Structure 1
Amino acid sequence: MELAELRSRRLFAQRLRGAGGAARPGAAGPGATGRRAGKDRPDAADASPADLVRDALAVQSQEYLPAQWGLAQRLPTANRPDRAAVAALIDDGAILRTHVLRPTWHFVHPADARWLVGLSAERVHRQNGTMYRRGGIEGPLLATGLDVIAGEVAGGHRTRVELQTALARAGIDLSGPDLAHLIMYAELERVIISGPSVGAQRTYAAFDERVPPSRERDRAEALAELAERYLLTRSPASARDLATWSGFTLADARQALADAADRTGDRITRFGGTDGAAPGSAGSAGSGGSADELWHDASVSAAWAARATGAGAPEPADDPSRVDLLQAYDEYVMGYAAPRAFLQPPGAAATIFSEFPLHALMIGGVMCGRWAPTVQGRRARVRIVPWRRLSRAELRSRDAAIAEVEAFLGVPVAVEVERVTRV
């Protein structure tokens, strides 16, 4: 598949095109099963950030405020929430934030938190093993620490500092990364999860307070569900992409895709190959094939094919001058395996690596610079670091994107544009 088509399909599946998903990728089609095929899914005009999180299953969110912008920008501008509205959903528990899939923060929906954390815990614990041992987070200290944390949140929401103080009273003196790893352990054991903010501080709540009871899934079923939901908002993607995003092994990812194909009929399918062949029937999916062979959700592909295009459309689907200001860990970037050639500028000789500022300035789905938002009280600054000169159309789109960030932040934004750093 040509990179231009891959970008177009992924931008659409990611809800960054198509008026924030107004074309309804994932609408029910042949073989559709459950909500992941679009059942009970609201129209784009009625969707909320919580709906986006539920469709995406897990949304990487280390950078707290930028990650909220990443949700908001996927909704149509007519009903796009500002940062106060998104923060209120998090405070209310409609969106939860915890360590899951990999040792990093993600937004998750309450309906998915229980089974998804349960699926992830063993593997994330294994990844953290060296850090646990280095901090002494094992044996009696671990058992006592979990009991203290559980007792604290049973009495109300607690900040990290309050948990640290309670642990110290029990003779456990931890700080920095060691404290963070004990708290992450408690998250993975489904003792705690995110609570509402108290001023600038975020709190932890008892897991069962914020997460409703739900049926436990066995590992194979949970992995198939993970693969199905992954493709709903990130297809086309490969087994290697799924393994990188989820933190599971390549063998797990291959089997999960095969099981997702089996349980959805012809909705989850693999493309005919990586050479641009048309999508084909899933047939006997199996778990073999190349790790880089592309899979897709056929209902998303059908919606992409039917998207509004052309000069008369309100928003041409593949506008090459369209600027997107994405947060550093946006799913359009982090949802796929390196080297992520679809992000590369034409003619780039080397893979793009992280640099400061972290956040990605995209033009037509290609990384063409960096940007950074800084909020201080009732004022904000947006720093733009382009890698090349922008055309007039691109400058207009860049300014419109900055205006959208300003509307989201709800405070006046001063813009600082640096000189071109690359040619």
Structure 2
Amino acid sequence: MDAAELRSRRLFAQGLRSGTDAPAAASGPPSTPADVVRRSLAVQGQEYLPSQWGLAQRLPLADRPDGASVGAAIDRGEILRTHVLRPTWHHVDPADARWLLEASAPRVGRIQATYERRYGIEGERAARALDAFAEAVAGGRHRTRAELAEVLDGQGWPGGAMVFLLIRAELDRVLISGASVGKQRTYAAFDERVPPSAPRPLDDALAELAERFLLTRGPASARDLSAWSGFTLRDVRAALADAADRTGGRIERLALDAESGAVGAAGADDLWHDASVAAAWSARERDAEASDDDPERVDLLQAYDEYIMGYASPRAYLQPPGIESPVIPEFPLHAMFAGGTMIGRWAWTQQGRRTTLRIVPWRGPSARELESRDAVIAEVEAFLGVPVAVEVDPVTPL
């Protein structure tokens, strides 16, 4: 497996490429943004609208929703947004929210503990704040952050404490995302948006986490899974072994090269994959007419897309030839790719009724790349639902 094959297989598993067969799963290929989240288990949602673009572009173009439709699915609670796994925003399916939080909240809480001590978020005082939050959102009342801050008036919390109180309320399964009010996000009662479920042993939860991680991100290493989930290497290595057992070998470790002792360009000795996805990818490779795995196909991915954030640094598979160190984020924040390799940056900005999409290329495009880039710009415009003015900077080599 060379670097090109690794990129091809990951793009396919991620849902960014299609073919004769979609990656196999009991539920079939995704047809809605909620399906994408369910298959992916958790999708980083730090940038709210860009993360919705990441969900939409994993659906067939003919059925692709616009941003308003994805936002409406979040408002209806078909997709929830909360702090889970690594302590950052993630989109999750309602049926997965409870067990994912139960599994990862203790570890995320330890990461947050320094800030909680700094702001006195502990004991009876913290309990009163969380009780006030619970009362404020009870009965289907969705509250903005400002409204929740008001219910704490008189409790004497210092400036800066609010963000960590809200995260604590999420970790303790008091609050979760609600319906937006204009451009403001809200919080709702956790138990009103998340179905009940029995507690799960941690080893069982981690085995499912490993299995579903590989469904949409394999081939990947134990280190990739650790970086993505926040769990230790010891935890995830045990989880991968358990996932292999419980799937009858569908989750499997890739064989090492007999001479070099390495697996392709990854340079790791513990790449794992979902064999059913690998079989679907192989079928796609045999049907060249159906394949859209073009080395000159351009993708405009949001900065925290799972194709980027689903793997551990330095993420050599996505870096341009000759670049060994990680590419440092800059503005424009988002990443432009050709054939799964980064070739520049991009971003959209909105000022009043004007929306501008700016592209900063690192090299000149080929004719086919230019055609593909213009096509995906049109897809972004359709997603945003407004006309987009395009600005292309001069080539800025790394």
Instruction: Please give the range of the TM-score, normalised by the shorter of the 2 chains.
Output: over 0.9
Question: Is residue 168 of structure 1 aligned with residue 153 of structure 2?
Answer: yes
Unaligned runs of 5+ in 2: none
Alignment of 1:20-419 (within 5 A): 23-26=21-24, 38-39=25-26, 41-44=27-30, 47-155=31-139, 156-169=141-154, 171-176=155-160, 178-273=161-256, 292-307=269-284, 312-313=289-290, 316-419=291-394
Structure 1 residue runs of 5 or longer lacking an equivalent are 27-37, 280-289
| Deviation digits for residues 89-114 of structure 1 (CA, Å, limit 9, x no counterpart) | 00000000000001100000001001
CA distance in 2, matches of 1:245, 1:174: 33
The aligned amino acid for 1:165 is E
TM-score (norm 1): 0.89
Cα distance in 2 for partners of 1:162, 1:386 equals 43
Moved over 6 A (4+): 276-279
**Cα–Cα, structure 1 residues 126 and 278, in superposed 2: closer, same or farther, change >3 Å?**
closer
Number of matched residues? 393
Report the secondary structure of 1:307's partner residue. Answer: helix
8 Å Cα contact 1:254-1:291 kept in structure 2: no
The residue that corresponds to 2:4 in the other structure is 4
C-alpha spacing 1:303/1:411, structure 2 compared with 1 (3 Å) = same
Cα deviation per residue 1:186-245 (whole Å; 9 max; x = unaligned)?
001100100000111111000000001122211000000100010000000010000000
Q: State the alpha-carbon separation in 1 of the partners of residues 288 and 213 from structure 2.
A: 32
Query: In structure 2, do the counterparts of structure 1 residues 291 and 153 end up closer, same or farther at CA, with 3 Å as the change threshold?
Result: farther
Q: Aligned Cα RMSD in Å?
A: 1.9
Measured in 1, the distance between the counterparts of 2:263 and 2:335 equals 31
1:7 corresponds to which letter in structure 2? R
Residue 350 of structure 1: how far off its partner (Å): 2.6
8 Å Cα contact 1:153-1:206 kept in structure 2: yes
Secondary structure of the 2:313 match is: coil
| Matches of 1:291 and 1:2, distance apart in 2 | 12
Q: Distance in 2 between matches of 1:311 and 1:56?
A: 27
Aligned partner of 2:17 in structure 1 is 17
Measured after TM superposition, the shift of residue 278 of structure 1 is 8.9
Q: Percent identity?
A: 65
2 CA distance for matches of 1:278 and 1:137?
A: 47
SS where residue 65 of structure 1 aligns? helix
Contact 2:263/2:271 (8 A) holds in 1: no
